[in-house]
């Protein structure tokens, strides 16, 4: 008799637990949305950055290279102090192959300065090497704030 009671209890708790889950139907809403644009010669980049609680961010990034295929994709990450670390999932041009790379941005005044770092692959994933600092002085793109409604829509 004890076994059926345990089974019913387990089923009931599973049902109650699954009812409390939102299963992605009610995602967290961003607390802020900021847009940025960077220009380096004839190359441009536009970013939409959504901020969530606890420093978590997500967004979109499009890099338009002069006479080359564009990069376009999404990123997710978080701020650690004044540095934003994200994983950028993107495609190049009309290619259907997807890529993932880490990116780092230093928040300086109201701008985001993209850094350059040494990378390594571990188990099929690319990471910044921990023993080599990210160089923010040599980055090509400095993202300045932009009006989201006007420029990105």
Domains in the chain, number: 1
In a domain, 123, yes or no: yes
pLDDT at 95: 80
- In sequence order, what DSSP letters do the residues of the chain get, joined into one string? -HHHHHHHHHHHHHHHHHHH--TTSSPPPPSEEEEEEEEETTEEEEEEEEE-GGGEEEEEEEEE-TTSPPEEEEEEEEEETTEEEEEEEEEETT---EEEEEEEEEEETTEEEEPB--EEEETTEEEE-TTS--BSSS-S-EEEEE-HHHH--
The structure tokens listed for 48 are 């939409």
> pLDDT (tens digit, 9 = 90+) per residue, 89-137?
999 988 888 889 999 999 999 999 999 999 888 887 888 888 999 999 9
153 band by pLDDT with thresholds 50, 70 and 90: very low
pLDDT at 55: 81
Whose CA is closest to 79, among 99, 93, 62, 59? 59
User: Residue 118: CB partners within 8 Å, gap ≥ 6?
Assistant: 128, 129, 132
In a domain, 4, yes or no: no
Which CATH number is 108's domain given?
A: 2.40.128
Better-predicted residue by pLDDT, 28 or 14: 28
Q: Average pLDDT, stretch 76-87?
A: 94
In a domain, 15, yes or no: no
Of 36-40, 43-47, 58-62, 148-152, give the lowest mean pLDDT range: 148-152
Distance between CA atoms of residues 67 and 151, nearest Å? 22
Better-predicted residue by pLDDT, 131 or 19: 131
Predicted TM-score (pTM) of the model is 0.77
Domain extent at residue 72: 32-146
- 100 neighbors 125 (Cβ within 8 angstroms): yes
């Amino acid at each position: 008799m004890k076994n059926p009671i345990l089974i019913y209890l387990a089923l009931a708790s599973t049902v109650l637990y699954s009812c409390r889950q939102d299963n992605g139907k009610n995602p967290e809403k961003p607390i802020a949305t900021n847009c940025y644009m960077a220009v380096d010669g004839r190359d441009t980049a536009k970013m939409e950055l959504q901020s969530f609680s606890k420093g978590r961010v997500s967004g979109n990034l499009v890099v338009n290279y002069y006479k080359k295929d564009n990069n376009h994709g999404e990123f997710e990450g978080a701020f650690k102090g004044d540095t934003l670390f994200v994983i950028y999932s993107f495609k190049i041009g009309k290619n259907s192959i997807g890529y993932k790379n880490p990116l780092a941005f230093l928040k300086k005044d109201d701008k985001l300065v993209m850094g350059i770092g040494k990378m390594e692959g571990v188990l099929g994933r690319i990471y910044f090497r921990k023993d080599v600092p990210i160089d923010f002085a040599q980055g090509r793109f400095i993202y300045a704030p932009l009006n989201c409604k006007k420029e990105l829509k």
